[in-house]
Amino acid sequence: MQYVGSMTLERDAKVFAALSDPVRLGLVHELRSRGQACGKDLSESLGISLSLVCHHARVLAEAGLLNKTKNGTTAVYTLNAPSLRDCLDTLD
């Protein structure tokens, strides 16, 4: 497989680094099964604090794996599946 350039490698490295944490993998799994969830629901299902959800969600969003929308004071998260798929396809 031919890489497009260093930008692809940098993006992939950022994605894999973001996925290297068990809590972040848990967030990805939860969002994959739910479709979308607010921080409070994720915090309850993973048994972690809301501030920890926000921290890990920010890392995933910076890697392009998570989308965040605000509904008043509530943050709603969704998985950016195409971005994850693109990165995983580079392993084939």
> Is 79 domain-assigned?
yes
> Is 1 domain-assigned?
no
> Is 45 domain-assigned?
yes
pLDDT tens readout for residues 68-84: 999 899 999 999 988 88
**For residue 34, what are the domain limits?**
6-89
> Is 55 domain-assigned?
yes
Count how many domains the chain has. Answer: 1
- What pTM was computed for the model? 0.85
pLDDT tens readout for residues 30-86: 999 999 999 999 999 999 999 999 999 999 999 999 999 998 999 999 999 888 888
CATH of the domain at 35: 1.10.10.10
> Is 14 domain-assigned?
yes
* Largest Cα–Cα separation, the chain: 45
Number of Cβ within 10 Å of residue 46's Cβ equals 17
> Is 74 domain-assigned?
yes
Q: Which residue has the higher pLDDT, 10 or 37?
A: 37
Lookup result for tokens 């392993």: 91
Kindly give, in sequence order, each residue whose CB lies less than 8 Å from that of residue 1, ignoring residues fewer than 6 positions away.
Answer: 90, 92
